[in-house]
Structure 1
Amino acid sequence: MRKPHLLLYPAATIIIVCAYLLGAHRAGNEQLEQGQRQLQLMAPELQSVLERFETLPFVLAQQPDLPNALAHPNDPQAIARLNQTLQTIQQQAKVGALYLMDRNGLTLGASNWDQPLGFAGKNFSYRPYFQAALHGDAGRFYGIGTSTSEAGYFIAQPVRRNGAIDGVIAVKISLAELERNWNSSEDPIVLADRHGVIFLGNRPAWRYHSLGPLPPEALAELASTQQYTGRNVTPLARNPGPRVTQEVGRLGWQLMIFPNQLRVVRSGINWALAAALLLACGGVSYWAMHQQQRRREERQAFDRELESRIFQRTQQLSETNRILRTTQNELVQAGKLAMLGQMAAGMTHELNQPLAAIRAFADNARTFLERGQPEQAASNLGHIGDASARMGAIISQLKGFARKDETVGPVELGRAVRSSAFLLESECKRCNVVLEIDTSAAPLTVAGDTVRIEQVLINLLRNALDAVEGRPQPRVSVVLSREGTDGVARISDSGPGIPQEVAAHLFEPFFTTKPAGQGLGLGLAISSSIVQAMNGRLSAHNMDGGGAQFELRLPLIEEGAAR
């Protein structure tokens, strides 16, 4: 008879395998859901690119130079006017090419007529978009150009003369820019035609390969239309794994995301390790009980004590985590208060000026009233009101920055920059620094806490002011821009830049290059922690023309979500 504990090994193996499968399954589902959400954002953008020039061929078909060229194909002047018209419109519309074909598919004129690989004189009657337009429909097609070997999206419309179709006008659009935008994703993103042939994506090795074996009729169609001329379309060497798919366009295209399976495997391994750890604990307990059956009572007492210790340890860990979170929040608050302390002298000067003005205007108003000059007294009271409003704005801004409460919501990045610059206005004046702010980009709305974003901006601006102090013509600039799905704030200075030995430790806690007593080295570490908590990124580098530049990136939120 087998020993009982030997029977546990197969069971433990099954449990660990099941834990791995369960963890991988959950992670896979999460990756697919995330991919679906990403597709819901990407599909409208792709659809917009495809639809942007949908009406251009139809409008061009109404140009008088096109029917005139079709009526006089051997007239050099008519063809020259056609070429010039198409070239001018192509340059203004910023499309790949425009070209006119007669009923036989021969290209009479093209926007690239003066280029070595121009379309003039080429016959495209075999293309599906030409056949569709020749029958009175809008033609659409994606393929590799047989003249230029450059891929593009083709849209065609018939050109009528005296009510009859006499030719076809086509536009070629490049989708290369859209493909470059996908390169920022670590997950494979591809666009496949209705046959499953990948023709666009952020994995160049996958391009012009099919997701599976193609039937003979599909291969025959690709050959007859020369859709991927010069390319041998074969299935991918290996299965790319689970994918999320959404149909886009009017040609049955499939936009696909293949979630990174490494994250799925890593999650499954973590679940398996957790199960193995639990099983190991259970196995140790079982082994101890099996070896000490005669001391059951002592073992039970030991188990109770062990459970009590685990409970106490759990409580200690929970308390430690709570203390750590509290300490982190207090550290961020301390950073804000430290900034306020550093700005106190400048703010005192800012408040003393309106206070002195209020005192002077009040004395003058009393004198005017005594002299029976109420209009002059009213004017002085107006000046007192303006000075009071100035003091109120300064105090309100300081109170808002110093508050400890966190309110997560939509934050307009330009407003946060201007508020931060307002708090440092006196510091800039004191150091004679020119502060340039460019918030001309469209409103950039991010999700986060207004005060913490301002804390990061003030810390970066103060560092920039310190860097340019004592430099000739000190200058600090802040420029906002929209880059993809991020709102970006770049803070640049005309200082000496970041030494190479400092750059590697720039965001480490307690690392500082300032003299003793002028900083703890926590400002950039806290700022980086705040930005990461809002799913953003903070980086720094030296500029080619001299000086340092800090880059703050925060994810943008949709306009509807901001409401």
Structure 2
Amino acid sequence: MQLSWRRDSIVPVGLAVAVTIATALPATRYMTGLQFDQLAGRAENTLGLAVSALRGELARYENLPALIAQHDSIRALVRDPGNGPLADQVNRELEAINALLGSSVIYAMLPDGTTVAASNHGAPDSFVGGNFAYRPYFSDALAGGEGRFFALGTTSLKRGYYFGAPIREAGRITGVLVFKVDIDPIEMTWKGADYGIVVTDPEGIIFMSDRAEWTYAAIEALTEERLARTAETRRYAETELRELPVTRGQGPGGHLLMTVPEPQGRTEYLALTEAMPEMDWTVKVLMQTRPARIQALIAVAALLSLFWVAVLIWLSLQQRRRRFEERLAVQREAQETLERRVGERTADLAEVNRRLEEEVIERRATERELRKTQSDLVQAGKLAALGQMSAALSHEFNQPLGAVRAYAENAGILLERGRIDEAQQNLADISALVERMDVLGRHLRNFARMPNTELQTVALEQVIRDTRPIIAPRLRAAGVELETEIGDGDHDGPLLVRAGPVRLQQVLVNIISNAADAVEGRPDPRIRLTARRRGDRVTVAVRDNGPGVAPGIAARIFDPFFTTKGVGKGLGLGLSISYNIVKDFGGSLHLSSPDGGGAEMLLELPAATARDLPEAAE
């Protein structure tokens, strides 16, 4: 059987070898062309981004020289260049403008090319006193046009792009203002990429590149005419120029190829070029072709491998065809058995599914009942807190009521005696006391009502302000003042959180009440509330100088009905309810024992921004 298989395979294998030999070279050329087209597409996108970045960066400063040239102090200095105090003033002004705009240097020149003021007047390489009449940007601006020129500074030896603008007065040109922009930051963005970018001047000399060794090298022949034109403008100062030995060729699809000698050997690049006529620059993007050629070879190898895998699979299938026929009969029998068992299992699964549906219905009903119970517990906790404060609140109401009675009796006596003004003052005092009781009652009604469960953007300082009247009687009973320190929120605005205002107020009442219980009776009771924003969270810390919480108690402090207070002083629900409320807000509540004694309750809530406020609040 094995010998027969080999004889039958001779012809197909021979045909496969012939197909491989005949298609390898054309396939390699075709795949190389596809890879080069993709590489050219990447190069085109990169070139467009690079040119746009250059134009955009320089366009930021394009109109600034003409604007600065209109300053009265600069015009006055050009009229009177020997005015020392005025020159010092203009130097300082140009220095301030240069620092504000982030340019390289700004300087003003007389019609003969002499620099009379510069932003770098205090530097060792100051331009003041220098003559740059040989620069094209000076002559173009002096002729009334826009001076534009790239060059290496003859004084600073730093590359830059120069903008020149005429200084005009009474319809005539009295000088030139020059604005130099540093191009190094643009060049730094090209470092580390898997492609090369070069920018050449009209003579073909590279003055910007992601590779330092290519700078000031020419990709065109440095003829005497080109060197003379470069020397005339002193574009590159005293820098020695050299030719970069470049070999040009044409790749698949007509793409321009450039081969450049490098320390590790000759490297071939696919080159795309775009001219920038407004600056007289040429930008080239160079993409290494070696990865594209390797990818083409890998693709051809993969295709041929797939072809041979298909041939081997076909040969193997021919050998196994009979075995498959035998196995088919076995599988048919197994399939019938499996279908029978599946039918039996399907019936069992249907019964289990029915039971699961009943359990889901029961679980949902239990869940609804649990949520209702939890809501009732929250309200019960609030009412329990109000009950604990009832004695202090009774004192809060009885004191102004007694005062109202006294003021009313006095007012009657004053009216009988005809002292109308004093009686009116008593009535005004009565009205103020009634307003005080109304405010306290309104806060208690808001606190006791059922809260809205939907979250909203809440100003934390307002919630704390509304909490103070409710908790004030308990704090006075404990002999302590609540110290607060609330930080700023987004863009120095109010501190905003995502919460429910009524439920957040309940949490603060519970926490501050527990702190008051802890410090009551101590010689120097203190409670301090601080709020800070940290990233996307707001932390509210309530710290007291009480005896602290033992580790064994701290582990159970958030359990329902757990309390360390005496009988009738608490249900043990306050912190448990507060913990669940904060969890619903997407926050957290935990207890810590800070250095220096006492206890600190840390409440973390999601931070909100001013744009999250509803329109009505805005």
Q: Which TM bucket (shorter chain)?
A: 0.5 to 0.7
Mapped contact 2:167–2:173 kept (Cα < 8 A): yes
Q: Residue 389 of structure 1 aligns with which residue? A: 454
Task: Tell whether the 8 Å contact from 1:110 to 1:119 is kept in structure 2 after alignment.
Answer: yes
What's 1:75 paired with? 83
Residue 182 (structure 2) pairs with residue 171 (structure 1): no
- Structure 1 counterpart SS, 2:195: coil
Do the aligned partners of 2:218 and 2:241 also contact (CA within 8 Å) in 1? no
Q: CA deviation at 1:137?
A: 0.4
- Check conservation: 2:164, 2:177, Cα contact below 8 A: yes
Where do 1:403-414 residues align within 5 Å? none
Q: Verify the 8 A CA contact 1:20 1:269 in the aligned structure 2.
A: yes
- Rounded to whole Å, the distance in 1 between the matches of 2:287 and 2:111 is 47
Shift of 1:39: 4.0
Q: Does 1:126 align with 2:134?
A: yes
- Does structure 2 retain, via aligned residues, the 8 Å contact 1:244–1:258? yes
| Contact map agreement 2:270 2:288 (CA 8 A) in 1 | no
Question: Is the counterpart of residue 269 in structure 1 residue 297 in structure 2?
Answer: yes
Q: Distance in 2 between the 1:160 and 1:140 partners?
A: 18
Cα deviation, 1:511-557, whole Å, max 9, x if unaligned, reads xxxxxxxxxxxxxxxxxxxxxxxxxxxxxxxxxxxxxxxxxxxxxxx
Task: Tell me the residue number matched to 1:62.
Answer: 70
Aligned counterparts of 2:324 and 2:223: Cα–Cα separation in 1: 65
Aligned to 2:285: 257
The one-letter code sitting in structure 2 at the alignment partner of 1:231 is E
Amino acid at match of 2:453: S
**Aligned with 2:241 (options 232, 241, 245):** 232
- 1:155 positional shift: 0.2
Separation in 1, partners of 2:115, 2:38: 51
For residues 296-315 of structure 1, the aligned pairs below 5 Å read 301-302=318-319
Q: 1:203 aligns with which of 197, 208, 211?
A: 211
Q: Distance in 2 between matches of 1:475 and 1:140?
A: 61
Worse-superposed segment, 50-59 or 261-270: 261-270
CA distance in structure 2 between the partners assigned to 1:132 and 1:103 by the alignment: 12
2:190 is paired with a residue whose SS is helix
- CA–CA distance in 2 between the matches of 1:44 and 1:386? 57
Q: Deviations over 1:60-112 (max 9, x none)?
A: 22122223222223333343333233222222222111111222212222111
Aligned-partner residue type, residue 302 of structure 1: Q
> Is 1:100 the equivalent of 2:197?
no
**Per-residue CA shift, 1:88-145, capped at 9, x if unaligned?**
2222222111111222212222111221111112221111111111111011111110
Letter in 2 for 1:88: A
**Aligned partner of residue 182 in structure 1, secondary structure:** coil
Q: Which amino acid aligns with 2:136?
A: P
Name which of 82, 89, 94 aligns with 2:97: 89
Letter of the structure 2 residue corresponding to residue 357 of structure 1:
V
For residues 269-313 of structure 1, give each alpha carbon's deviation from its aligned partner in whole angstroms, at most 9, with x where no partner exists.
Answer: 211321442465588799x9xxxxxxxxxx9943867999xxxxx
Partner amino acid, structure 2, of 1:356: L
- Tell whether the 8 Å contact from 1:101 to 1:107 is kept in structure 2 after alignment: yes
Cross-structure match for 1:356: 377
- Cα–Cα, structure 1 residues 300 and 173, in superposed 2: closer, same or farther, change >3 Å? closer
Local SS of the residue matching 2:297: helix
* C-alpha spacing 1:60/1:353, structure 2 compared with 1 (3 Å): farther
User: What secondary structure is seen at the aligned counterpart in 2 of 1:302?
Assistant: helix
Q: Identify the residue that residue 438 of structure 1 maps to in structure 2.
A: 535
8 Å Cα contact 1:24/1:264 also seen in 2? yes
Give the CA deviation at 1:264. Answer: 1.1
Letter of the 2:125 partner, please give it: L
Match for residue 406 of structure 2?
Answer: none
Relative to structure 1, the CA distance from residue 159 to residue 358 in structure 2 (aligned partners, 3 Å threshold; closer, same or farther) is same
CA contact (8 A) 1:362 1:380 kept: no
Deviations 1:402-457 (A, max 9, x none): xxxxxxxxxxxxxxxxxxx99xx99xx9xxxx9954379xxxxxxxxxxxxxxxxx
1:377–1:352 CA distance, 2 compared to 1 (3 A): farther
Query: Aligned-pair distance for 1:259?
Result: 2.8
209-218 or 195-204, larger mean C-alpha shift: 209-218
Question: How many equivalent pairs are there?
Answer: 364
1:149 aligns with 2:157: yes
Contact 1:182 1:189 in 2 (8 A): yes
CA RMSD of aligned residues (A): 5.2
- Larger Rg computed on CA atoms: 2
Q: Which amino acid aligns with 2:104?
A: G
Amino acid at match of 2:454: A
Does structure 2 retain, via aligned residues, the 8 Å contact 1:155–1:171?
A: yes
Cα–Cα, structure 1 residues 88 and 307, in superposed 2: closer, same or farther, change >3 Å?
farther
Cα distance between partner residues in 1 of 2:603 and 2:442: 42
Distance 1:32 1:126, change over 3 A: same
> Aligned equivalents of 2:240 and 2:149: distance in 1?
17
The separation in 2 between residues aligned to 1:235 and 1:475, in whole angstroms, is: 67
SS at match of 1:37: helix
Q: Aligned to 1:139, which of 135, 147, 163?
A: 147
Check the 8 A contact 2:16/2:308 in 1, yes or no: no
The match for 1:17 is 25
Identity %: 21
* Contact 1:99–1:171 (8 Å) recurs in 2: yes
| 8 Å Cα contact 2:203/2:220 also seen in 1 | no
Q: Which structure carries more relative contact order (alpha carbon 8 Å, separation 6+)?
A: 1
> How far did 1:150 drift?
0.5
Structure 1's 301 and 79: CA in aligned 2 closer, same or farther, altered over 3 A?
closer
Distance 1:106 1:272, change over 3 A: same
Deviations 1:438-478 (A, max 9, x none): 379xxxxxxxxxxxxxxxxxxxx99xx9xxx99999999x9
Q: Distance in 2 between matches of 1:355 and 1:223?
A: 91
Q: Unaligned regions of 5+ residues in structure 1, if any?
A: 289-298, 309-348, 365-375, 394-420, 441-460, 480-563
Describe the shift of the 1:164–1:200 C-alpha distance in structure 2 as closer, same or farther (beyond 3 A): same
Q: Give the structure 2 partner of residue 220 of structure 1.
A: 228
**1:197 to partner: Cα distance:** 2.9
Q: Tell me: CA distance 1:377–1:113, structure 2 relative to 1, closer, same or farther (3 Å).
A: closer
1:258 partner SS: strand
Question: For the structure 1 residues 130 and 385, does the alpha-carbon distance in structure 2 shift closer, same or farther, using more than 3 Å as the test?
Answer: farther
Which secondary structure does the structure 2 equivalent of 1:242 belong to? strand
Q: 1:353 to 1:108 in 2, by over 3 A?
A: farther
Distance in 2, matches of 1:174 and 1:12, equals 58
In the aligned structure 2, how far is the partner of 1:28 from the partner of 1:233?
31
Deviation of 1:356 (Å): 2.6
Give the aligned residue type for 2:171: G
Distance 1:438 1:262, change over 3 A: farther
Query: How far 1:169 moved relative to its partner?
Result: 0.8
Letter in 1 for 2:297: I
Q: Which amino acid aligns with 2:319?
A: F
Kindly indicate whether the alpha-carbon contact (under 8 Å) linking 1:358 and 1:387 is maintained by their aligned counterparts in 2. Answer: no
Query: Structure 1 counterpart of 2:96, which letter?
Result: T
